[in-house]
Homo-oligomer: A and B are copies of this chain.
Amino acid sequence: MAKKKISIEDVARRAGVSITTVSRVINNVPTVSKTNRLKVEEAIRFFKFKPNISAQQLAKGESRAVGLIIPRYEGVYSSFYAVEIIRGVGSSCEQLKLDLLLHLTDGRELLNVSNLGGVIFADIIENRQQLESILEENIPCIVINNIIKDLPVNYLGIDNLKGAKTAVTYLVELGHKNIATITGSLITQCAQQRLEGYKLALKEKNVPLKEDYIEKGDFSRRSARVATLKLLDLTHPPTAIFVASDDMAQEAIAVIMEKGLKVPKDISVIGFDDNPASLYGPVSLTTMRQPLFSMAAQAVKELNAIMQGKKTTLKAILPTELVIRESCSHFS
């Protein structure tokens, strides 16, 4: 902590007022005379005084800091996901003047949130214990990117099921019958849901499900490459692939082109994310847009409202949107 110790008292002395008055100025309490306010402000500037946050938190019994808990599973970081979440949360925190405490966790130990005003869980993977313990402490909390029905918790998720269904239905309606999928890491709820949506769409459209057409990836480009190669090697390769992330979809397209095939002429590819990078490949990617950044930003706003007692619960699921570009075409 800071070595020098200019405290509220020094400021008070120089301004010739009580520390209470200084405190009032700091906290923008209106009942301070103009003269005193000016004197205090001068003294603050003079000392470059900044209030001690720990003391403020202790005295007020509240905090303007939010904790962002990110599970540390293999490949979170390569998945475009973590970055968007951190950006969204960070940007909203900056706007609302909230401090942001970032916690990468393997879920093994409980969190001490005594200096936090609220907590955001960016997905829940192998760390339900932490969530449950936070819930007991009765501190404002929101889970994002995960829909949790069996716990009394606020969440803000994305409709991955419907998103995937929309994507695959789109492929079916383009005339495709042989539609494969490359999944994300199935320890995540979103990857599970996207796989579910894939199955559901086929079922509704009476397209038979082939186990060979389901390739398990883990959101890494590497896994997408392996998966795509396997799909291309099948006796009856698919004519369309639904890939669980844009990043993996880009890799799939690269592999397909390396084999001398064309996208979308020979094989259609649809992704999931709407990663801006998808615009600048050899073929611009048709994809399902999911609002990660705004989900994260909104979560902070909602959390802030809850922290201020303006709101109590939140259970919301954000929609995705089909973005049609060049990587899918009619089956011919």
Contacts and interface: CB of A to CB of B under 8 A. Distances in A.
Interface of A: 1-4, 48, 50-55, 57-58, 61-63, 65, 68, 77-78, 82-83, 86-87, 90-91, 94, 99-105, 110, 112-117, 133, 136-139, 221-222, 225, 251, 254, 257-258, 276-277, 279-282
24 contacts: A1-B62, A1-B63, A1-B114, A2-B114, A3-B137, A3-B138, A48-B133, A50-B112, A52-B115, A53-B115, A54-B55, A54-B57, A54-B115, A55-B58, A58-B58, A65-B101, A77-B83, A77-B87, A78-B276, A83-B83, A86-B102, A91-B104, A94-B105, A100-B101
A114 B68 CA distance: 21
A221 B222 CA distance: 20
A114 B61 contact: no
A222 B277 CA distance: 8
A101 B102 contact: yes
Nearest to A278: B221
Given A54-B58, A77-B83, A102-B100, A2 B138 contact: yes
B113 A2 contact: yes
B3 A139 contact: yes
Contacts of A54: 53-55, 57-58, 63, 114-115
A46 B2 CA distance: 36
Given A3-B139, A54-B57, 8 more contacts: A50-B114, A51-B114, A52-B58, A99-B101, A101-B101, A221-B280, A254-B282, A258-B282
A222 B280 contact: yes
Contacts of A112: 50-51, 53
A2 to B, nearest CB: 5
A117 B110 CA distance: 22
A57 B221 CA distance: 44
Contacts of A55: 54, 58
Contact of A225 (B62, B91, B117, B280): B280
Contact of A2 (B100, B137, B277): B137
Contacts of A65: 101
A169 to B, nearest CB: 30
Contacts of A276: 78
Contacts of A4: 137-138
Contacts of A258: 282
B1 A115 contact: yes
A79 to B, nearest CB: 10
Contacts of A138: 2-4
A65 B113 CA distance: 13
A136 B83 CA distance: 32
A251 B254 CA distance: 12
A65 B276 CA distance: 34
A104 B251 CA distance: 31
Contacts of A251: 280
